[in-house]
Amino acid sequence: MAANDAVAGSPIEARSDWPALARRAWRRRVSAQSAVLTFLVVVSVPIILPYFWMVVIAFTARTGGVSSDVLWTACAVIVPAVILYSIVHMMVASRRLRLGAGVVILAIAGTLLIALVGSRLHLDNFRFLTHSDFVEELRSKATSGAQFPSVWTAFFNSLALALSQTAIILTVASLAGYYISRFAFRGRNAFLQGLLVLHAFPAMTLIIPIFLMLYWIGLLDTIVGVMLVLAAIELPFYVFVMKGFFDGVPWDIEMSAMTDGATRRQAFRLVVLPQVRVGLIAVGVFAFIRAWEEYIFVRTFLIENKNWVMSLYLFWVSDDVMGVDYGIVAAVAVFYVLPSLLLYVFCQKYLTQMTIGGIKG
């Protein structure tokens, strides 16, 4: 009798419950993922809906406004398509299947949009990109009398500002971060604390002193002056970030390179930098976007319209013609967002692989 009881309570009998346990674990996992997905959708919709409206207005609005029916109809197609693709991207492991599902969803959404609002789609609001007489048209609609430059002038000014700042930040932050990470020197901890303290103060408090400094050294109302200011303000944070990336690189591989005959500079360039490539890309992307979207400092330090950047151009267009033709405002906004969006799309693979100090982000 005791033997039979022992057999009944053995692990062999417990194996019969494995399918039930598997089903229970699957239900728990699906429930947890569904709850997380629902939460993300509820939080994301109020954030992404204005961007969808911006795109719809840019491609449908005409002089005098845009119908609310067009906005809600387009969003009723676009928002579910984006949510569905997000679900597929999260649940499907195969990259080929995700790509195929994305193409199918895009085709269905595009067909529905053409069928529902296709007659109202147009590109008239984007005429500022090609028509040389658009500036005169914009001046005639303006209420403040602003002298609008070409949008390409503002675009290339923004591009020069963002690329220059990114190059300075990558160069200085990588060298300074490596030195702080690898060398022990007197006052190192105080220096690191100082970097954090410098980044903690609101930059807005420095506008008047910086304005006077730029005026005295002759860099007021220049792209170079704004670029140096933004780089100086952002550098403490990025130096601290790059120091964390270099901390995650083992000292042994660098020592092995120098043992094999490489100089310290060669070991840094050929061995260490490739190890922090993801960090460099991440810092470069964030620095570029930060400079591209800057408004406060360019609004204060850039005066003449030949030095306008895209944020100033969008502000003056919004301020002057919003009540007359806000389809133009939405079109300029779409053009303004596009470079940052493309940069993020091409670099998102590296951003999701970002590690700081050996901890994956």
62 forms bridges with which residues in the sheet? 65
> Residue 117 has what pLDDT?
81
> Residue 140 has what pLDDT?
61
> Residue 217 has what pLDDT?
92
> Residue 54 has what pLDDT?
85
> Residue 134 has what pLDDT?
64
CA distances from 134 to 128, 261, 321 (A): 6, 62, 13
pTM exceeding 0.95: no
- Report the SS3 class of residue 241: helix
Helices (runs of H) and strands (runs of E) counted in the chain: 17, 2
Say how far apart CA 163 and CA 170 lie, in whole Å: 10
> Residue 95 has what pLDDT?
77
Say how far apart CA 285 and CA 350 lie, in whole Å: 10
pLDDT along the chain (361 residues), means of 10: 50 62 80 78 79 84 69 81 78 78 86 83 80 62 62 91 94 90 82 78 85 90 91 88 87 84 84 88 91 90 86 80 70 90 82 56 41
Say how far apart CA 151 and CA 126 lie, in whole Å: 11
Say how far apart CA 132 and CA 156 lie, in whole Å: 17
- Report the SS3 class of residue 106: helix
pLDDT tens by residue, 311-321: 988 888 776 65
